[in-house]
Structure 1
Amino acid sequence: MIPIEHVFRAVETPLFWLGAVTAAWLSVCSVYRLLAGIKVWVLGNGKLVSPATLGKWAVVTGATDGIGKAYAEELARRGFSIVLISRSQEKLDEVSKAIESKCGVETKTIAADFSSVNIYSKIEDALAGLEIGVLVNNVGISYTYPEFFLSVPSLDTFIDTLVNVNITSVCQMTRLVLPQMAERKKGAILNISSASGMHPVPLLTVYSASKAFVDFFSRGLQAEYKSKGIIIQSVLPFFVATKLSKIRRATLDKPSPERYVAAELNTVGLQTQTNGYLPHAIMGWVTTALLPASILSRHMMGVTLSQRARYLKKQKQG
């Protein structure tokens, strides 16, 4: 029988080197992530998002409120001429005049209801001849309140509307703009997904799934067109203080649309998939890397059930 001390001696050296290599690898990975984080969140992408680099015009859907409006304003501030696309011509005119007055750039407006599917020939005609450097696929809708799938009011219509606005619009607008970007070998398409697309959100299931589609669509297209000089980015914000989120007061973890967009644009060209804002990136890392999916799902179910109960109680009281 081999003495136990001989066994220990036999494996001591291999285990030492295994531990040393593992520690070295973890150290290298940690340093790489730290440097990558500094590059993204401290240094940013410099002057990448500019008309000189990408092209004269930026097109923004859902451009009259919230994140879309903030993108239009920030891109105009950077010198882009802006095409604003949204449903209300009155709101479009208001935002257009404000941008022209404040930033001194040219604007165009296109009134289009993305819940319909017969709008894209009109949009295509309006965009003809424009050198489009940036497309922001921002338009989107969510639930009025969290609800079980079969209990969503007017479920049939709701499904069609949400899919048309959140999914079809991204595919169709990309179809219209990508060919001339590919021909020029430059351009950026920013598809606004959501952190709810990173994991299922019960009682917001159709919305969450639609945003997961936007994320996968974006990452697949980036793999296809990266070699052709095109940037296609999936943007996954957590809560931002907008009308859609029903958050009125901005905080550190729930920034204003302007603060969020200014941070997000500095990640373009550096991250294919981004939460866009450092506190959101930390939240994304915690929810995907640290929390088991089952625990996260139970937590989200509790949150949405609570929101549903508050909404229904308020409706009864009203």
Structure 2
Amino acid sequence: MVADTIHVHSHLAGHPSYHILGHEIVLDVPITALILSAIGAAFLLRYTLSIFRLALELAVLPGKDVKSLQSRQGGTWALVTGCTSGIGLEFARQLAKRKFNVILIGRRKHALDEVAQELESKFGVQTKSVVVDVAAPGSARDEALSQIELLAKDLDLGVLINNVGASHNMPVAFAETERSEMNQIIETNVAWTLLLTRAVIPSMIARSSAGGKARGPKSLIMTIGSLSGRIPSPLLATYSGTKAALSTWTKALAEEVKPQGVVVELVQAAFVVSNMSKIRKSSPFVPYPATFVRSVLTSIGLPRGAQGRPHERTPFWTHALLDYAVGFAGYVSEITGIRVILGMHKDIRKRALKKAERAAKKE
């Protein structure tokens, strides 16, 4: 008769044996040691596979290229905010190079006209421009949103790049942050991003779905986040909080519209050479905008450094390694990351104050 229970007794040699389904199993180690070894092996396997996946996604596996989102008949449009300099300008250029027509959003008409002329003459695409101060709530911003909503209905809008962002003039304690600076950051990073996306997403859903079933080309809503939202950043608390808010919003929205053929992603970025970062020289950890944007547009769908966080990705390789390292050891690596950021921001603030003091003496 086959046993349906487990019987335990000790051999003369001192090794416990177990009878399972009629088979005797003799252990050379205590059961507690065996369980702990199994748990350790599971964790080791998990981290080994995770590191292997990171290496594959950074060096081998191709993500989707943004060109895959174009309609077969051509004439697909992309909308880019904050497009007159830095990362936003590179998004406009590289999308135009891939033959997307581009809707340009910014607050300086002259700068928008220059970008439009460059894209049209160099890449042979169409452009449309909307002038708006995204940080200023009121009738002018509402009118611009209505104008953008109409454009989305009339055009084959397949890509939205939520790039525009605002940060602090320098690292500053939250208790000392000017109200006007806080309002500008919140209105630009959160309010405008949500309002703009709300204005165009019905048209993007209609483009990518019919009768509730995704049949058209997929559409993409890509929001440029920051590792300051991933790693809480003391002395940039308001900015850090707005970027963290975009992460949660992205995940919620992505699950809503995924069945309708719309892909929603948050791209995590560390420092990039730009006016906002005030960094002028490139390094392995601080790429030029062209290099960063190229990594973003050719790796859609690959989390890279953002493993385990749905609808987020960290495409540039050194940013991915930093992101991955911060989350690798749980609390220990997370709190270490926060304290490193605090020390860095203290140093940046100290140097910025000295620079301002020298400038004041020259006046």
What TM-score do the two structures reach when normalised by structure 2? Answer: 0.79
Residue deviations 1:83-135 (CA, integer Å, cap 9, x gap): 11011111111111111111111111111110122312233244441111000
Q: Does the Cα contact within 8 Å between 1:267 and 1:274 map onto a contact in 2?
A: no
- The residue aligned with 1:311 is 352
Equivalent position amino acid for 2:312 in 1: Q
Secondary structure at 1:252 match in 2: coil
- For 1:229, which of 261, 269, 274 is the aligned residue? 261
- The residue aligned with 2:29 is 12
C-alpha deviation, 1:21, in angstroms? 8.2
Q: Which has the higher contact order (CA 8 A, sep 6+)?
A: 1
- The residue aligned with 2:166 is 141
- The residue aligned with 2:89 is 69
Q: Does the Cα contact within 8 Å between 1:81 and 1:106 map onto a contact in 2?
A: yes
Of 301-310 and 124-133, the range deviating more from structure 2: 124-133
C-alpha deviation, 1:191, in angstroms? 0.5
Equivalent position amino acid for 1:298 in 2: R
- The residue aligned with 1:183 is 206
- The residue aligned with 2:78 is 58
1:208-247 matches, cutoff 5 A: 208-247=240-279
Residue deviations 1:198-255 (CA, integer Å, cap 9, x gap): 0210110000000011111111211222222111000110110111100101112110
Which ranges in structure 2 are unaligned for 5 or more consecutive residues?
Answer: 1-9, 18-25, 209-217, 304-310
Q: Does the Cα contact within 8 Å between 2:146 and 2:199 map onto a contact in 1?
A: no
Cα distance in 2, alignment partners of residues 7 and 232 from structure 1 = 55
Correspondence 1:164 to 2:187: yes
Task: Give identity over the alignment, percent.
Answer: 32
Which ranges in structure 1 are unaligned for 5 or more consecutive residues?
Answer: none
Q: Does the Cα contact within 8 Å between 1:55 and 1:187 map onto a contact in 2?
A: no
Cα distance in 1, alignment partners of residues 247 and 62 from structure 2 = 22
- The residue aligned with 1:151 is 176
C-alpha deviation, 1:11, in angstroms? 6.5
- For 1:260, which of 267, 292, 295 is the aligned residue? 292
C-alpha deviation, 1:20, in angstroms? 6.2
C-alpha deviation, 1:6, in angstroms? 3.3
C-alpha deviation, 1:294, in angstroms? 2.7
Indicate how the Cα distance of structure 1 residues 128 and 23 shifts in structure 2: closer, same or farther if over 3 A, else same.
Answer: same
Cα distance in 2, alignment partners of residues 317 and 121 from structure 1 = 46
Correspondence 1:296 to 2:328: no
C-alpha deviation, 1:287, in angstroms? 1.6
Q: Does the Cα contact within 8 Å between 2:64 and 2:299 map onto a contact in 1?
A: no
Cα distance in 1, alignment partners of residues 182 and 200 from structure 2 = 26
Cα distance in 2, alignment partners of residues 293 and 35 from structure 1 = 21
Cα distance in 2, alignment partners of residues 204 and 25 from structure 1 = 35
Residue deviations 1:67-94 (CA, integer Å, cap 9, x gap): 1111111111111000110111111111
- The residue aligned with 1:130 is 155
Secondary structure at 1:49 match in 2: helix
Secondary structure at 1:93 match in 2: helix
C-alpha deviation, 1:35, in angstroms? 4.7
- The residue aligned with 1:99 is 119
Q: Does the Cα contact within 8 Å between 1:191 and 1:233 map onto a contact in 2?
A: yes
Of 266-275 and 188-197, the range deviating more from structure 2: 266-275
Cα distance in 1, alignment partners of residues 237 and 36 from structure 2 = 45
C-alpha deviation, 1:63, in angstroms? 0.6
Q: Does the Cα contact within 8 Å between 1:110 and 1:126 map onto a contact in 2?
A: no
What TM-score do the two structures reach when normalised by structure 1? Answer: 0.90
Cα distance in 2, alignment partners of residues 102 and 294 from structure 1 = 48
